[in-house]
Amino acid sequence: PPVLETRDLGRRYESRGETVDALKGIDFRIERGEFVSIIGPSGSGKSTFLNMLGLLDEPTSGEVLLNGEDVSHLTDREQTTVRKRTIGFVFQQFYLIGTLTAQENVEVPRLFDDDPQTAERAADLLGRVGLANRRTHLPSELSGGQKQRVAIARSLINNPGVVLADEPTGNLDRKTGETILEEFTRVTEEGVAVIAVTHDEKVNDYVDRTVEIVDGELA
Ligand code: ADP
Ligand code: ADP
């Protein structure tokens, strides 16, 4: 089965007496090793879709399947477990913890796991993103591109099947952004699926496929 799939996925917001159908029956699938970008105008439903894919918010209709299993109807607690095991997150703002070293930031998702192999895996991941010699640096001592590579390493610490990236190059200059896109390409070559929501047209040069959302529907 695809690593991630949605079937007839819908999300309705009701607030201030207004109803907004932010997603209207989206059928989407992504296989291991695929790099897919999601584009679309502001307010078209991209953030909402990413939140559904990341099990961060409940759909009002339809299903989200991870490795063929419908996870949209699991309890919050079960979803947290599934999310941790199968989904990595990368954000525009990096969200590194300023008082922790690069190595410690990569270990954060496993903080409560008490696994003696975590440190070795984090160090290995930092090496793979070209930061072997930056392990003990604090975020304030790293460039934007280096910070985002730490975030990519962190997103991979639990060996996820898919990484969700929200404007991953949005805070980087063009050239640095390209090195990050190359990094994601390497991640997909190792069999991980990557989904990037982005306005960055450069991303099109790197992805296997682009999906456009317009007014809550796939265009
Ligand atoms: P995009 O990420 O493409 O800019 P969003 O997914 O943020 O779009 O928003 C899609 C639509 O849903 C917009 O009309 C937005 O105003 C609405 N929306 C998003 N989040 C909420 C919310 N929490 N409550 C009410 N409406 C929301
Ligand atoms: P982006 O630029 O990344 O698409 P947005 O500014 O559209 O982000 O929205 C950021 C977040 O704010 C959304 O994920 C959603 O949770 C919330 N949001 C967006 N629109 C609304 C809204 N109309 N009412 C309440 N919350 C909203």
pLDDT digits (tens, 9 = 90+) for 127-173: 999 999 999 999 999 999 999 999 999 999 999 999 999 999 999 99
Between the CA of 213 and the centroid of ligand 2 the distance, in Å, is: 15
Nearest CA to ligand 1 atom 15: 43
On whether the CB atoms of residues 84 and 159 are closer than 8 A, the answer is no
Ligand 2 nearest-atom number relative to CA 166: 3
pLDDT tens digits, 42-63: 999 999 999 999 999 999 999 9
- Asked if residue 121 has its Cβ within 6 Å of ligand 1, the reply is no
- Asked if residue 134 has its Cβ within 6 Å of ligand 1, the reply is no
ipTM comes to 0.70
- pLDDT for res 51: 96
Burial of 76 (0-12, 13-18, 19+ CB in 10 A): exposed
- 61-66 vs 35-39, strand pairing mode: unpaired
Ligand 2 nearest-atom number relative to CA 57: 16
